[in-house]
Copies of this chain bind each other. A is one copy, B any other.
Amino acid sequence: MRFSSKVEKCGLSPMRKFHPFAVAAREKGRSIYHLNIGQPDIETPKAYFDAVRSFDQSVLEYAPSGGVPELVAAVQKYYAALDMHYTAEEVLITTGGSEALQIALNCMIDDGDEIVIPEPFYPNYSTMVYTCGGTIRPVATCPEEGYHFATREKMERAINEKTRAILVTNPGNPTGTVLTAEEMQMLAQLAVEHDLFLIADEAYREFVYAGEVLQSFGSIEEAREHVIVIDTVSKRFSACGARVGCLLSHNKEFLDHAMKYCQCRLAVATLDQVAAAALYSVDESYFAAVREEYKRRRDTVVEGLKKIPGVICECPKGAFYLMAALPVDDADKFQQWLLEEFEDKGETVMFAPGEPFYGTPGKGKNEIRIAYVLQQEKLARAMELLALGIEAYNKR
């Protein structure tokens, strides 16, 4: 039997690679501070579980392919409050933001087509683009410049006749960078000029820490036919396991194509949609409290990093991730060593090595991504362990 050349180009999750080492470390009695995955520890709003418990239909039927009406309406209302007005037909509920991305990319990519993505980027974008037969054209950044990518020159250099879309994560994963309104305007303008889609992955929209108003590419009127917004309840409501996201677009032709995919996989899980609709009833104080909590965590991590000699890290403005360059030869080897050789009072730390976040081979070798999804005192200790680890690693 032969396998698809597209799937052969993809790799297993780079995050998984260290799993056996982590298991072995735990078996030796070590406890590990996990900064390697984006699974928040914040409680899911009770509204979700209440809705689930009060579901009273006796037959668990297929939901409509585009989403259950109450969830579509909840999403519309959420966007209307941001002065973005989508009709019910312009909202397609998906199985997480992941499926929204897969559907969008499948609608536009033919073999050999390119998607422009600033690097470092979310590693699953690679599998999503490759399995459609496309390739990623990365836009280079560096830790010294705080991973800043949004200049017209940098972006335009990456666009060619094979480009189908620009894919931007804002706020950024893994970098935590937040675009300014002017940068967003420039990117949207670029999409219009070059007749490209602009896929805006805004999973972390609420996680901005400078008191700014919430932003979305979907609000840029001049690019309304070009922008596809990817959204999800996963991070916003700490409901990653719900697998409920959505696609938003004003482009009728795109929506028609996307609906073909939606119909082909029939529907998103019914109960999760009903419960996700209830999540949208959570009031602004919930977001404010969560935002404050993450902000404190970010500050703790950045403070810890700044104390470590040789670490390069700009304070990120959003999401719950940051990237940093470490004074080590190879973050991958360093991570393995932290799990196999290092401990301080029986404890060690895990992060995500930076290389898999890059599309350009060889880049990110001494960088790491930190997800600050633990409580402050744990984060402080994790930074201490990182400092001790770097020192011991470089002395070994």
Which residues in A have some Cβ–Cβ distance to B below 8 Å?
1-8, 10-13, 16, 39-44, 48-49, 52-53, 55, 58-63, 65, 95-96, 98-99, 102, 106-111, 113, 124, 127-128, 131-133, 164, 195-197, 225-226, 238-244, 251, 253-254, 256-257, 259-261, 263-272
The complex is assembled from copies of this chain, and their number is 2
Q: Which residues of chain B are within 8 angstroms of A127 by Cβ–Cβ distance?
A: 260-261, 263-264
Q: Which residues of chain B are within 8 angstroms of A196 by Cβ–Cβ distance?
A: 1
Majority DSSP secondary structure for residues of A touching B: loop
Q: Give 15 A-B contacts (CB < 8 Å), ordered by A residue.
A: A1-B225, A1-B251, A3-B108, A6-B106, A6-B110, A7-B107, A41-B59, A44-B60, A52-B55, A60-B238, A60-B239, A61-B241, A240-B266, A241-B269, A242-B271
**Contact assessment for A108 and B2 in the assembled complex, using a CB-CB cutoff below 8 Å:** yes
**Contact assessment for A4 and B43 in the assembled complex, using a CB-CB cutoff below 8 Å:** no
Q: Which residues of chain B are within 8 angstroms of A269 by Cβ–Cβ distance?
A: 95, 241-244, 269, 272
> Which of these, B7, B13, B59, contacts A40 with CB under 8 Å?
B59
Q: Which residues of chain B are within 8 angstroms of A257 by Cβ–Cβ distance?
A: 3-4, 7-8, 10
Task: Say yes or no: A1-B108 contact (C-beta < 8 A), given A58-B44, A268-B243, A272-B271.
Answer: yes
**Contact assessment for A13 and B263 in the assembled complex, using a CB-CB cutoff below 8 Å:** yes
**Contact assessment for A106 and B52 in the assembled complex, using a CB-CB cutoff below 8 Å:** no
Cα-based distance from A124 to B65 in the complex (angstroms): 13
Q: Which residues of chain B are within 8 angstroms of A195 by Cβ–Cβ distance?
A: 1
Task: Say yes or no: A270-B241 contact (C-beta < 8 A), given A95-B265, A108-B2.
Answer: yes
**Contact assessment for B12 and A259 in the assembled complex, using a CB-CB cutoff below 8 Å:** yes
**Contact assessment for A266 and B60 in the assembled complex, using a CB-CB cutoff below 8 Å:** no
> Which of these, B3, B113, B263, contacts A16 with CB under 8 Å?
B263
Cα-based distance from A113 to B65 in the complex (angstroms): 28
**Contact assessment for A265 and B98 in the assembled complex, using a CB-CB cutoff below 8 Å:** yes
> Which of these, B42, B108, B272, contacts A272 with CB under 8 Å?
B272
Q: Which residues of chain B are within 8 angstroms of A61 by Cβ–Cβ distance?
A: 39, 240-241
**Contact assessment for A96 and B265 in the assembled complex, using a CB-CB cutoff below 8 Å:** yes
Instruction: Kindly provide the distance from the CB of A316 to the nearest chain B CB, expressed in whole angstroms.
Output: 23
**A261, A264, A270: most-surrounded residue (chain B CB, <10 A):** A264
Cα-based distance from A98 to B269 in the complex (angstroms): 12
**Contact assessment for B52 and A241 in the assembled complex, using a CB-CB cutoff below 8 Å:** no
Q: Nearest CB to that of A164 among chain B residues?
A: B2
Q: Which residues of chain B are within 8 angstroms of A271 by Cβ–Cβ distance?
A: 52, 241-242, 271-272
17 additional A-B residue pairs with CB within 8 Å, beyond A12-B263, A96-B265: A1-B225, A1-B254, A4-B109, A5-B110, A7-B260, A11-B260, A12-B259, A61-B241, A98-B266, A106-B131, A127-B263, A127-B264, A241-B270, A243-B267, A243-B268, A243-B270, A271-B271
**Contact assessment for B42 and A264 in the assembled complex, using a CB-CB cutoff below 8 Å:** no
Instruction: Kindly provide the distance from the CB of A110 to the nearest chain B CB, expressed in whole angstroms.
Output: 5
Instruction: Kindly provide the distance from the CB of A72 to the nearest chain B CB, expressed in whole angstroms.
Output: 16
Cα-based distance from A11 to B243 in the complex (angstroms): 26
Q: Nearest CB to that of A238 among chain B residues?
A: B59
Q: Nearest CB to that of A273 among chain B residues?
A: B241
Cα-based distance from A242 to B243 in the complex (angstroms): 12
Q: Which residues of chain B are within 8 angstroms of A225 by Cβ–Cβ distance?
A: 1
Cα-based distance from A41 to B267 in the complex (angstroms): 17
Cα-based distance from A63 to B7 in the complex (angstroms): 23
